[in-house]
Amino acid sequence: MVFENTRTFAQQLDAQDPLRAYKSEFIFPQHNGKNVIYFTGNSLGLQPKRTAQYVQDVMDDWANLAVEGHFYAQKPWWDYHERFCEPLSKIVGALPSEVTVMNTLTVNLHLLMVSFYQPQGQRYKIICEEKAFPSDQYLLQTQVRFHGYEPADAIVEIKRREGEHNIRLEDVLAKIEEVGDALALVFIGGVNYYTGQVFDMQQITAAGHAQGALVGWDLAHAAGNIEMNLHDWQVDFASWCSYKYMNSGPGNASGCFVHEKHHHNKKLHRFAGWWGHNKERRFKMEPDFDPVAGANGWQVSNLPILSLAPYLASVDMFAEVGMPALVAKRNQITAYLEFILQQIDAEVDSTFEVITPKNPIERASQLSVFLHGEGRALFDYLMSNGVITDWREPNVIRLAPVPLYTSYEDMYDFGQILKAGILSKAQ
């Protein structure tokens, strides 16, 4: 498609957009009586309007039924989490039995590491990407120390080449082969939070397994953003938050994936709790742990129903739309945003460098942009003019045009505000 940097063209794209009605399903912060242009769904998604009713239903059941809500609510609380298995499995490419929801992301990753990082002898090293999200860095550092190793020795980082912003797939595969028999675990973020780079999870997982290692993924920036096939790719475990692209509310519950090949492996350690015990016998209060078959067997605590209600509202919306439709719009609107940036760059005396990969299969709903010649003042101008974006040191803004609630006209308007912000400093 040949793009145009005009409002009329953007409006034409919106008129052809099969997802255009979903923008009205979300609540936007206001700026001068108008919806903001919201580019930070990669940090916190907007609130769906339907969420309030899902939460109110739980509040009503609590008020009217009290403890009996566990069994007699419209959506009984004791198996509330099971409503996520089918729709989430379609979002991440899994079997329903391989998916569950519980706790929060880093808590879940720590719990999963109990099962999937079990160093023995010379096989103790973990491969991760350079400059992973800090929570993942802290997770890995404390896990290896818990097992008696030093992070500088046990954690192997795959680095970017000099002068490059992204990690090459061939460097990942080469490092996995180099570490070889010493490798216990490959653990990488499926989409890099800073650059927006999408990693080839299928090839990396296969390479880790070829060396006898297990492979897990932090899917915080991937779930609800990219199409995945965790089951077919033979991924061992994964976890993701629900408050970014999945719009469940700040700090909300996390999803987990455990491949079915591990469901009946009694040699795997796990930290057990009541809600992971055999569902049919849970209320017999038996002393010995008998895990539920499947990912639900990694549950620990009684579910936080009030937290899960907003997540269920969003998951139901994803089930309506489907990942293929989301990805199709994601690709086109991200490409249009890149075009707008290039057009504005050509019109003003400035230089924007998109550090997110240009290859469409290596990027998703995010463009990270170096503002060469610009500074924090431009970010502040955007924010003060109704563009909610994200600043990352030293000089990067992250722009995430989430397909459910951003429009092509938003992209055009952003370009005009960006241009005005650059020109204003010259006056």
pLDDT mean values, one per 10 residues, the chain (427 residues):
96 98 98 97 98 98 97 95 97 98 97 97 97 95 98 97 96 98 98 97 98 98 98 98 97 97 91 90 88 93 95 97 97 98 89 91 96 84 96 91 98 97 76
CB within 8 Å of 258: residues ≥ 6 apart: 98, 100, 112, 115, 236, 237, 294, 295, 298
DSSP structure class, residue 25: G
Could you tell me the residue ranges of all domains in the chain? 7-35+323-424, 53-321
pLDDT confidence of residue 351: 77
Containing 358, the helix (H) or strand (E) segment is none
pLDDT confidence of residue 280: 86
Q: pTM value?
A: 0.95
pLDDT confidence of residue 427: 52
123 within 8 A of 154, measured Cβ to Cβ: no
As to burial, measured by CB atoms within 10 angstroms (0-12 exposed, 13-18 middle, 19+ buried), residue 420 is: middle
Fold of the 7-35+323-424 domain: Aspartate Aminotransferase, domain 1 (3.90.1150)
pLDDT confidence of residue 223: 98
Fold of the 53-321 domain: Aspartate Aminotransferase; domain 2 (3.40.640)
pLDDT confidence of residue 7: 98
